[in-house]
Amino acid sequence: MRAVVFERYGEPAEVREVADPTPAEHGVVVRVEATGLCRSDWHGWMGHDPDITLPHVPGHELAGVIEAVGARVTGHRPGDRVTVPFVCACGSCPACAAGDQQVCERQTQPGFTHWGSFAQYVALDHAEVNLVPVPPELSFATAASLGCRFATAFRAVVAQGRAAPGEWVAVHGCGGVGLSAVMIAAASGARVVAVDVSPAALDLARKFGAAECVDASAVADPAQAVRELTGGGAHLSLDALGSPGTCAASVDGLRRRGRHVQVGLLPSPDGTTPVPMTRVIALELELLGSHGMAAHAYPPLLELVRAGVLRPDLLVTSTIALDAAPSALAAMGSAPGQGVTVIEPWA
């Protein structure tokens, strides 16, 4: 099969022929019809993810058709349309037993712990726990965007963030996950303040339901701008980019007893970042993380997509072939781009 491979961190990846994967006993091989290009792939390529070993094939936001199933897989057949959460769970550890597959103790992540979906085929473990059927009316490109960014934003806003109608929700960073969060928070009845340094990203945020926008490149203190627009601060705020600046601004833009959810990965190798803890104490803020979403939590999301309340299809702004993936991957660092780019490995 053809796949995007890199041999060294931060040096150009290339498209080449590699061996086709085979399914584990409990796993499947999926023919990849669409796979999203995500900033997490760029972090992996830059060497920020300790799970990656070289040479490596990135890609974790995929949808496709089951090509082969392992001997112990009974619930899925070749030909089934499927997607997966980017966190693939083991199904048997204490976290999985509690229903928290998104923080599984023995998780695998395609494109991080093993070769991913910037390829014509990808192997996925523990199929019974992780595969999500893709309804026929959902395109593969749209389904691919669910696995990481849209599902992550859904859990961050709805489950972890507990967004309620009438609340102010600030979203710092309006790339793929941020725009997803804007759309989901607006659909939840919240009033959304979108924050980004790109006017084009803010235009998209407005289109997807943001009531207010803050151009962080044009104001001295984005958090203060959020507090002014929201009459004292957001009830819920997300760092959807993942940087020391957006993390701190998200916490600083909250009102008393507000909730911050960290969604974007932090780029330093150890993931540590300064947080204004004085404000956390004085205002009794909550700090939360959000790490994907378990496969069993997808049905309510898919129902909102089917009903047209949520439109992840609108987030897909470009579709590229596998040959264009290496340069697009490299560009994610300096220009994360507007919306979601989807790679079609068979195009």
The total number of residues shown for the chain amounts to 347
DSSP track, 10-41: TS--EEEE-PPP---TT-EEEEEEEEEE-HHH
340 belongs to the binding site for Zn ion (CB under 5 A): no
Q: How far is the CB of 80 from Zn ion (least distance, A)?
A: 23
The correct pick among 5, 26, 35, 40 for binding Zn ion (CB under 5 A) is 40
Total residues binding Zn ion (CB under 5 A)? 9
Q: How far is the CB of 220 from Zn ion (least distance, A)?
A: 32
Instruction: Please identify, using beta-carbon distances, which residue of 40 and 180 lies nearer to Zn ion.
Output: 40
- Give residue for tokens 């961050």: 156
Contact track, Zn ion, 72-111, x by CB under 5 A: -----------------xx--x--x-------x-------
DSSP track, 286-303: EEEE-----GGGHHHHHH
Amino acid symbol at 20: D
Instruction: Please identify, using beta-carbon distances, which residue of 148 and 214 lies nearer to Zn ion.
Output: 148
Distances (CA, A) of 152 to 7, 27, 146, 312: 29, 23, 8, 12
Q: Distance between CA atoms of 188 and 184, rounded to whole angstroms?
A: 6
Instruction: Please identify, using beta-carbon distances, which residue of 97 and 218 lies nearer to Zn ion.
Output: 97
Q: Which of positions 41-70 make contact with Zn ion (CB under 5 A)?
A: 61
Q: Are 192 and 211 in contact (CB under 8 A)?
A: yes
Sites of contact with Zn ion (CB under 5 A): 38, 40, 61, 89-90, 93, 96, 104, 148
